[in-house]
Structure 1
Amino acid sequence: MMQKLFDHTYLIDGLDLGMKERTGIYVLDNEQLTIIETGPSQSFEPIRLGLKQLGYEMTDISHIILTHIHLDHAGGAGQLVQHATNARVHVHPSGYKHLIDPTKLIEGARVVYGDAFDRTFAPVLPVPKRVVISQEDGAQLHLGNDRTLTFFHTPGHAMHHISILDSETNGIFTGDTVAVYYKSLSERYDQCVSVPSTSPSQFDPAMMANSWEKIRRLSPDVLYLGHFGASQQTDQLFLNSEQLLEKFIDALRTEAQDAKRLARILQQTVQDHFQLEQLTDDESNMLSVDCQVSALGLIHAYEKGRIELDG
């Protein structure tokens, strides 16, 4: 359930959607205990147990950092702060009001997840305004023990997205900006298997490409992905996303109306790209979920004029 990545850096499996290696919560074990991402409310118990393994209680958390406010990354924040009573919650300025009043987040997620919303995300609770801190581009947070986090605005997956540069590991917590990384598939096929995340409702390919370049210029040694885990194959992660985003948009040219059909095309595209001949049920289900959400985002971006299909 919890894995040590580096000194003072750990990964808790949040068991999002009831799946292993789906959504990760990172723990920075420094003078000021910090977690990055909360996952949905269902990740509360894995977080509690993971911290207990390190000898901590919820009240020991000083900082909770959210790369963005999609519910699979931040839906559990309101519940968590009821127990992490000494924590401050750090978020992109555009996400600030939605943490305090998650009504629109809930409405948007219900459109995507339908009848599965309650069992997937409920409860989604408001975060008290007094504990929420907006982080501007370039702002820093000092955790003690000579460890500093620097926040960068990285839109593309969502307008309210930040990535966080860690001085101790020269790593960047990228949330969903760079890729969705399939750890078990990567290990089993001995290659870096990852896809770009084009989920609704703010996906913007031009902004995403700019954010990729912004992160690249920081020359990270490791990328910490929201889904799922850490990878030092940084160049390959970017290359996969660039190549597959192009293929995703090509797929959109063949199907720009039926999201279910587009999702099936995307999944086959990914399997062909990496020559994934045999998937377990869990691997297929996880890839299917990502392709379904990405299909919705691609179609929405096309309808809003953020993707052009001429030529």
Structure 2
Amino acid sequence: MSIHRIDSRISLVDLMDLSMHERTGSYIIKEKSLTIIETSASPSIPHLKKGLSKLNINLEDIQYIILTHIHLDHAGGAGLFLQECPNATVIVHPKARRHLVDPSRLISGAKAVYGDKFDALFHPIIPIPEERIRVMEDRESLDLSETCTLTFYHTPGHANHHFSILDSVSNGMFTGDTSGIQYRVGPKRFYFPSTSPNQFNPDQMRHAIQLYKECRLDRLYFGHFGETDQVTYALSEVEEHLERFMEISKEHFVPSLPFEENVKNVTSALFHYASNWMTRHDVAPDHPVRELLILDMQVSAMGIVDYFMKKPKGESTA
């Protein structure tokens, strides 16, 4: 577990998601209303608590726990964490509330994907009492202090229950997964889209990226992993790679094949593309970042194949 102090207000705790460094982070915003953005899954909660302790933050002082979306690597531990935060309210997208109150569908869906690995990765997933949840509508605001306001933007594309949060002080957007993934390789930064199942929509993702551009941001805060002030560059990279992901996947997708075989073929093609991109930018073949790439390209392939298979016959897969 490590702590990255971004500025005097915002810190990032490495949650050691999947036992990997710099995989998933939780942002701590020190304002009058102390706020946490993202918890990751339940096995990450000890790392979050340790980070908060190092920052001299008491759990009873936390006022808000904000979840950009409810995929388990961002929100699976929220119920467990909330049990120790007596004064906190969980802030989510309107479409997410019912799944936090009754996480049975989240659990069954994850078990179908992860099988025997589910418990090690995600257990336990604790229901959250409805009275401790607050939903935020599109463009709704939340004051954390007299000088800090968070504004919430509904940003589907990665998931229908996804919002992004604009911090008025830093003029930075907490983008969850809609702006993709930032890979940190020494001083280098790489950006690829995250097109995970089963609500990926490329048009909505393009629209969200355009929204980020129109906001003229000074920072992006990624769920995976860390922040950047190279906003224009990061968004243009994600845009470019999204188009290539769709083109490559279309070339390797065969409608007559079963889902699993299409995922295998598309995963291989996407990994080849992303890995070669890093190689061309002087990333060593044995660098640990490639382990993350393998995982992420498989998940992205699943989302794109799912998107293709849901489209009516004869409709473009672009």
TM class by smaller structure: over 0.9
Inter-partner Cα distance in structure 2 for 1:132 and 1:98:
11
Query: Are positions 1:198 and 2:205 aligned together?
Result: no
Aligned equivalent of 1:242: 239
Q: Is the contact between residue 194 and residue 240 of structure 1 (CA under 8 Å) also seen in structure 2?
A: yes
TM superposition shift of 1:137:
0.5
Where structure 1 has 5 or more consecutive residues not aligned to the other structure, the ranges are none
Query: Are positions 1:207 and 2:213 aligned together?
Result: no
TM superposition shift of 1:90:
0.3
Calculate the TM-score normalised by the size of structure 1. 0.95
TM superposition shift of 1:260:
2.1
- Higher mean Cα deviation, 256-265 or 124-133? 256-265
Q: Is the contact between residue 275 and residue 293 of structure 2 (CA under 8 Å) also seen in structure 1?
A: no
Query: Are positions 1:296 and 2:293 aligned together?
Result: no
Please give the secondary structure, in 2, of the residue aligned with 1:62: strand
Inter-partner Cα distance in structure 2 for 1:114 and 1:255:
27
Aligned equivalent of 1:31: 32
TM superposition shift of 1:308:
2.7
TM superposition shift of 1:208:
0.7
Q: Is the contact between residue 153 and residue 165 of structure 2 (CA under 8 Å) also seen in structure 1?
A: yes
Calculate the TM-score normalised by the size of structure 2. 0.93
* 1:262 aligns with one of 263, 266, 291: 266
- Higher mean Cα deviation, 26-35 or 274-283? 274-283
Which amino acid is 1:241 matched to? V
TM superposition shift of 1:273:
2.5
Equivalent pairs, count:
306
1:245-301 CA-to-partner distances (Å, cap 9, x unmatched) read 111112212322421231121111012234255244531211111001001000000
TM superposition shift of 1:194:
1.1
Question: Structure 1's 289 and 259: CA in aligned 2 closer, same or farther, altered over 3 A?
Answer: same
TM superposition shift of 1:145:
4.6
Q: Is the contact between residue 48 and residue 57 of structure 1 (CA under 8 Å) also seen in structure 2?
A: no
Runs (4+) of structure 1 exceeding 6 A deviation are: none
TM superposition shift of 1:56:
1.4
Inter-partner Cα distance in structure 1 for 2:50 and 2:31:
18
What does 1:1-311 align with in structure 2 at a 5 Å threshold?
1-183=2-184, 185=185, 187-188=186-187, 190=188, 192-256=189-253, 257-274=261-278, 275-276=280-281, 277-280=283-286, 282-305=288-311, 308-309=316-317
Where structure 2 has 5 or more consecutive residues not aligned to the other structure, the ranges are 254-260
Percent of aligned pairs with the same amino acid: 40
Q: Is the contact between residue 248 and residue 270 of structure 2 (CA under 8 Å) also seen in structure 1?
A: yes
Inter-partner Cα distance in structure 2 for 1:245 and 1:123:
34
Please give the secondary structure, in 1, of the residue aligned with 2:6: strand
